[in-house]
Amino acid sequence: MQSKHWMSALALGASLIAGAAQAQTTVRIAWYSDGNEGEVVSDLLKRFEAQNKDIKVVLDQVPYKAITENLPVQLASGQGPDIARVVDLGGIARYALDLRPYLKDAAYWDTNFGPFLPWMRPAGDDKAITGFMTQLTVTGPLVNKTLFEQAGIAMPGAKASWDDWAKAAKAVATKVQAPFPVAMDRSGHRFFGLAVSEGAQVFDAKGEPAVIDDGFKRAAQRVFDWHKDGVMAKELWGSVSGAAYRGANDEFKNAQVVMYVSGSWQIAQFDKTVGNAFDWVAAPSPCGAVACTGMPGGAGLVAIKATKSPEAVAKVMEYLASEPVLSEFYARSLFVPGHLGIAAKGLDYKDASAQAKAALKVFSDQVANLSPVAYKLQGYVNNRIIFNAAISRVGQAISGETTLDEAYKRIASDVEQQIAERNKK
């Protein structure tokens, strides 16, 4: 008799567990990391799961390339994660879920993420809330201060021009025998920081792409000449083909680069990897003929339309976007906040070293100096078509395959052809 009771209790227990398991909704997040943000978000999500037993969050940490190349194909086939951390905000926008009907407080999102929401909206939609910026990035230079000190050369000041920096970096590199005076990521974002500062307008009066103008040509010529003069080494821009991204992280942390034009997302990584090996600082965006600006950008966490559990997705997004959680995320990952409220209050990056804190301040201060053209380009749905065409063709000119004039013609035709292809219905 007693054994029968045991059996019943076991059966009841098992059915309860099974029931609970069945009631649990799984939300998958595809996440790439530049630094330690994967670990941070993983911690935060554990807390979310503890508070929300009905939702299981699976964090798939994937390489950057998987986000830029595999995810769009997955999404186009109607598959993919429920949430993804993406950089091609405009390209992914058409697969994004409008969270507005599922959010408890949509006004919170409008207030705190307002200027960035259009970056993630599908074309023609001016209301949707599809995600938030996991960080706001600003492109700009990171400088090896120790190399300047060893060379006994003064670092250019706040309003220094690109020429001033190139001259100083070359002098330092010659003196200390560093192979990379200036290194710039092989990336459209980095190039257009320079181009906009040189006066590139990118769009015509109707808002259509008109990439090649005097400002663009000045920037392209500068990058071309820097390669000829040895200010930039060919290993980055001249070593791969097409739209391939190539960074100089390894070279910078090995103290081979005097000035590295990259951006704010590198801070956490260099704080950890460089450590005490040498002193590095972030410098304000160098000035071109027209402005002293970098490019804004960042990675957005976007809800995906194909999800089967929009309510659960909204709950996860609300949790991650909430002020205390997001503050902790930004503070621990050393990111410039993409949340206006947090940015206004200021963040205490208490785990950061003094040099990382100083670099974060420099980049945060740059946000106010960003050119409207740079914002417009960042918000343009086809911006990566422009970025890719520019680096691919300028790269060819640098490696001696074509002339810059030929590259300009090809950039214009590449952009036109790819936008036409995208618009074919």
Contact footprint for another protein (CB under 8 A): 68-70, 72-73, 76-77, 88, 91, 179, 234-235, 238-244, 246, 382, 384-385, 388, 395-396, 398-402, 406, 410, 413, 417-419, 421-422, 424-425
- Shortest CB 233 distance to another protein, Å: 8
Residue 84 vs 356, nearer CB to another protein: 84
If you count DSSP H runs as helices and E runs as strands, how many of each does the chain have, helices first?
Answer: 20, 8
Q: The tokens of 294 are what?
A: 């970098």
d(CA 166, CA 169): 5
- Shortest CB 246 distance to another protein, Å: 8
Nearest to 170 by CA among 261, 257, 279: 257
Task: Give the H or E element holding residue 91.
Answer: helix 89-92
- Shortest CB 215 distance to another protein, Å: 23
Residue 320 vs 415, nearer CB to another protein: 415
- Shortest CB 328 distance to another protein, Å: 33
Task: Give the H or E element holding residue 138.
Answer: strand 131-144
Residue 40 vs 385, nearer CB to another protein: 385
d(CA 290, CA 38): 38
- The DSSP 8-state label assigned to residue 130 in this structure reads -
Residue 345 vs 409, nearer CB to another protein: 409
Beta pairing partners, 180: 257
- The DSSP 8-state label assigned to residue 299 in this structure reads E
Residue 41 vs 381, nearer CB to another protein: 381
Cβ proximity of 337 and 135 under 8 Å: yes
- Shortest CB 223 distance to another protein, Å: 14
Q: The tokens of 83 are what?
A: 């949430």
- Shortest CB 374 distance to another protein, Å: 19
- The DSSP 8-state label assigned to residue 36 in this structure reads S
SS3 375: helix
- Shortest CB 398 distance to another protein, Å: 8
Nearest to 259 by CA among 281, 238, 240: 281
CA 298 to chain centre: 3
Residue 126 vs 421, nearer CB to another protein: 421
Task: Enumerate residues 6+ apart whose C-beta is below 8 A from 3.
Answer: none
d(CA 149, CA 26): 54
- Shortest CB 401 distance to another protein, Å: 4
Q: The tokens of 85 are what?
A: 């951390």
Residue 156 vs 238, nearer CB to another protein: 238
Nearest to 414 by CA among 132, 399, 4, 394: 394
Q: What is each CA distance from 72 to 95, 278, 318, in whole angstroms?
A: 9, 40, 24
Residue 298 vs 395, nearer CB to another protein: 395
Residue 91 vs 140, nearer CB to another protein: 91
Q: What angle do CA 286, 146, 267 make, to 5 degrees?
A: 60
Q: What is each CA distance from 190 to 34, 187, 195, in whole angstroms?
A: 16, 5, 9
SS3 381: coil
Residue 103 vs 412, nearer CB to another protein: 412
